[in-house]
Amino acid sequence: MAMGRPKSLDDQKQREVCALVSAGMSLPKVAMYVGCSVKTIRRLRDCEPDFDERMRRAQLAADLNPLEAMRRASGTHWRAAAWMLDRQERRGQSGKDKRRDGEFLRAVTDAHAKARQLVQREVICPLTQDRLQPGLDLLFATLAGEAAGGTSVPMPGAEGTKVAAESTTQDAPDTAVQA
């Protein structure tokens, strides 16, 4: 019977790899510890479904251990509880929501530029234009700030000023146009 090359990751080393991964060690450091390359570990995962399953469970355990520690701490420490709450809220917002917010912000910025152009084109009196522009800038900056999560957002064409999203339209000058 012909014998091939012995496995570089025998059963004992496979158990060590899984234990180290579940403890949170990075794959390159695990490979160095057991005396093989990262490529060897990945290749073994591809070839042996049982090892792949054990590795996936080990990675999940590594992710869950700190989370479980924070969950326990949140029962007695307010900062841990606040962190857990923030993490849950962030997890609820998917990448799709963030893309949608970005699209809305671009739409608000485009609408602001068009509104400024419309005022400049349609309102003849320069004094009325000067009265309307700050109100438009405030309105669109407020919309943009809400899309950006309540942060200050510079509006193009508003002379580089930033308006916080917390500003209200009561701060805006009267923008009624007399016919």
Domain annotation covers residue 177: no
Among 3-12, 130-139, 145-154, 160-169, the minimum mean pLDDT is found in 160-169
User: Residue 110 pLDDT more than 90?
Assistant: no
DSSP string, 22-76: HTT--HHHHHHHHTS-HHHHHHHHHH-HHHHHHHHHHHHHHHHHHHHHHHHHHTT
140 and 99 inside one domain: yes
User: How many domains does the chain contain in total?
Assistant: 2
Greatest C-alpha distance within the chain: 102
CA–CA dist 63, 84 (Å, integer): 14
User: What is the model's pTM?
Assistant: 0.44
- Residue from 135, 139, 137, 151 nearest 101 by CA: 151
73 and 131 inside one domain: no
101 and 141 inside one domain: yes
Let me know: does 41 contact 16? Beta carbons within 8 Å: no
Residue that finishes a domain, picked among 91, 114, 144: 91
Residue that finishes a domain, picked among 56, 91, 126: 91
Domain annotation covers residue 71: yes
- Summarised one tens digit per residue, pLDDT across range 41-98 is 999 999 999 999 999 999 998 888 888 888 888 888 888 888 888 877 777 666 666 6
Predicted local confidence at residue 12, as pLDDT: 93
22 and 76 inside one domain: yes
Containing structural domain, residue 83: 11-91
Residue that finishes a domain, picked among 71, 91, 111: 91
The mean pLDDT of the chain is: 77
121 and 145 inside one domain: yes
58 and 31 inside one domain: yes
The Cα angle at residue 135 between residues 134 and 139, in degrees rounded to 5: 115
- Residue from 172, 108, 171, 168 nearest 140 by CA: 108
Predicted local confidence at residue 140, as pLDDT: 77
Helix (H) or strand (E) holding 158: none
99 and 87 inside one domain: no
User: Residue 23 pLDDT more than 70?
Assistant: yes
Q: Which amino acid is at 118?
A: L
Domain annotation covers residue 2: no
Mean pLDDT of 17-42: 93
DSSP string, 84-120: HHHHHHHHHS-HHHHHHHHHHHHHHHHHHHHHHHHHH
